[in-house]
Chain A
Amino acid sequence: QVQLQESGPGLVKPSQTLSLTCTVSGGSISSGGYYWSWIRQHPGKGLEWIGYIYYSGSTYYNPSLKSRVTISVDTSKNQFSLKLSSVTAADTAVYYCARESRYRGFDYWGQGTLVTVSS
């Protein structure tokens, strides 16, 4: 059974960089066939896809966030990470990592982690 777990600071100051890591267990990122995504949900709002990475390092980002987002992968640790720069209060959200199959959509999700941007 594939499991994903987000980790990282729950509080980030404005203008700083938000950094989160997703650790995958029960399956290898290196095995291919899946895209590893970050998705966020503002309090009381809908879901917003941030971007994804393939095990090879290929990435694709939401155009609305592209200038501030970097997603990277560490296959040796079976982890992938999100960096979001120059954060503001508008970036306060629950951040999820998820596995995406081009055939089945997002089939496995982490539990989510709340990141608050505040001084």
Chain B
Amino acid sequence: DIQMTQSPSTLSASVGDRVTITCRASQSISSWLAWYQQKPGKAPKLLIYKASSLESGVPSRFSGSGSGTEFTLTISSLQPDDFATYYCQQYNSYSLTFGGGTKVEIK
């Protein structure tokens, strides 16, 4: 199985901050990576697919980059609605795996 490692596990930030979350794959996954946002009690929501493609309806302050084994999710200016947990997920192989999550908290 491909292991996905996210860092940090928790991030404290203020409204307006630029936030970067990293996801590393245990082997190359090309660009087959998605990012999700999850709020308490809710299902995850797709933000980014194929590493850098913005899902329809997602604010442009979200962006993704990377390929191979290292990826980043960036929020250019953190908004109150962005405090949530973020997950990366690889879909390069038939066996799908998620990262452990990054909780973005209010500083």
Contact = CB atoms under 8 A, between A and B. Distances in A.
Interface stretch (A8-16, A24-32, A46-54, A75-83): A46-54
Interface string A81-104: 000000000000000101010111
A109 B97 contact: no
Contact of A46 (B45, B50, B101): B101
B46 A63 contact: no
A118 interface: no
Interface residues of A, number: 22
B44 A109 contact: yes
B89 A106 contact: yes
Nearest to B101: A46
Interface string A18-43: 00000000000000000001000000
B43 A96 contact: yes
B68 interface: no
Contacts of B53: 104
Interface string B65-107: 0000000000000000000000101010011111111000000
Contacts, number: 58
B89 to A, nearest CB: 6
Contacts of B87: 46-47
Interface of B: 1, 34, 36, 42-46, 49-50, 53, 55, 87, 89, 91, 94-101
Given A47-B87, A104-B49, A106-B36, 17 more contacts: A37-B96, A46-B87, A46-B101, A47-B36, A48-B98, A49-B95, A49-B97, A52-B96, A63-B95, A100-B96, A103-B50, A104-B53, A105-B34, A106-B44, A107-B46, A107-B55, A110-B43
30 contacts: A46-B87, A46-B100, A46-B101, A47-B36, A47-B98, A47-B101, A49-B95, A49-B96, A49-B97, A49-B98, A52-B96, A60-B94, A60-B95, A62-B95, A63-B1, A63-B95, A98-B43, A100-B91, A104-B46, A105-B34, A105-B46, A105-B49, A105-B89, A105-B91, A106-B89, A107-B49, A107-B55, A109-B43, A109-B44, A110-B43
